[in-house]
């Protein structure tokens, strides 16, 4: 009995540079356009939570969010919940899970909170052309402890 056969593919000749999702930089036009299109199609309920249409901060699933200010009196329940749960660093993925809101909605929510300096973002470690060997070694040590 032989398994089905696949054919290998090649990466495109010039490897695309990694796009670091640094929250400080402005979102690319492409992201802004996609975001706008997505919002327009979303149900109204999501629109209210995320506030005005706009560009999203380029946060990654594993961007860590940390609270940096008290909840203002104008804070929405969702903002208050984020500020409370991010007293210790928490990834955007976890915020999405605990709030039970889609990742895209959380991204817009956090874009506002970053702009208002209610929270701070810690950029993720992204894959590089030359991977950081000391990081990989640390991960191996961490896994061995499991």
Partner 1 sequence: MDFNGSDTIPGPRAEDHLPHTTTAAAKIVIVGGFGVGKTTMVGSVSEIRPLTTEETMTQAGIGVDDDYGSETKTATTVAMDFGRIRITEQVVLYLFGTPGQERFWFLWNGLFEGALGAVVLVDTRRIEVSFEVMGRLEEGGVPFVVAVNTFPDGPRYPVEDLRAALDLPPEIPIVECDVRRRASSRDVLMTLMRFLHSLALSRSLT
The least distance separating partner 1 from the CB of residue 82, rounded to whole angstroms, comes to: 9
Sign of CA dihedral 113, 114, 117, 118: positive
The least distance separating partner 1 from the CB of residue 116, rounded to whole angstroms, comes to: 18
Nearer to partner 1 (CB atom), residue 24 or residue 141: 141
The least distance separating partner 1 from the CB of residue 117, rounded to whole angstroms, comes to: 18
Closest among 61, 63, 83, 86 to 74, alpha carbons compared: 83
Nearer to partner 1 (CB atom), residue 14 or residue 52: 14
Nearer to partner 1 (CB atom), residue 101 or residue 118: 101
Residues 22 and 136 sit within 8 Å (Cβ to Cβ):
no
DSSP annotation string for 95-134 = HHHHHT--HHHHHHHHHHHHHTTSEEEEPPP---SS--HH
The least distance separating partner 1 from the CB of residue 107, rounded to whole angstroms, comes to: 8
Residue 119 main-chain phi, psi, to 5 deg: -135, 165
Nearer to partner 1 (CB atom), residue 37 or residue 117: 37
């Amino acid at each position: 009995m032989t398994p089905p056969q696949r054919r290998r593919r090649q990466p495109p000749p010039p490897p695309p540079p990694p796009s670091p999702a640094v929250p400080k930089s402005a979102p690319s036009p492409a992201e802004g356009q996609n975001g706008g299109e997505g919002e327009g199609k979303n149900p109204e309920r999501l629109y209210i939570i995320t506030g005005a249409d706009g560009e999203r901060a380029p946060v990654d699933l594993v961007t860590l969010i940390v609270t940096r200010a008290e909840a203002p009196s104008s804070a929405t329940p969702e903002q208050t919940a984020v500020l409370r749960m991010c007293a210790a660093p928490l990834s955007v993925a976890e915020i999405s899970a605990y709030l039970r809101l889609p990742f895209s909605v959380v991204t817009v929510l956090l874009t506002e909170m970053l702009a208002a300096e209610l929270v701070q973002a810690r950029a993720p470690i992204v894959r590089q052309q030359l991977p950081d060997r000391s990081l990989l070694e640390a991960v191996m040590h961490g896994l061995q402890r499991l």
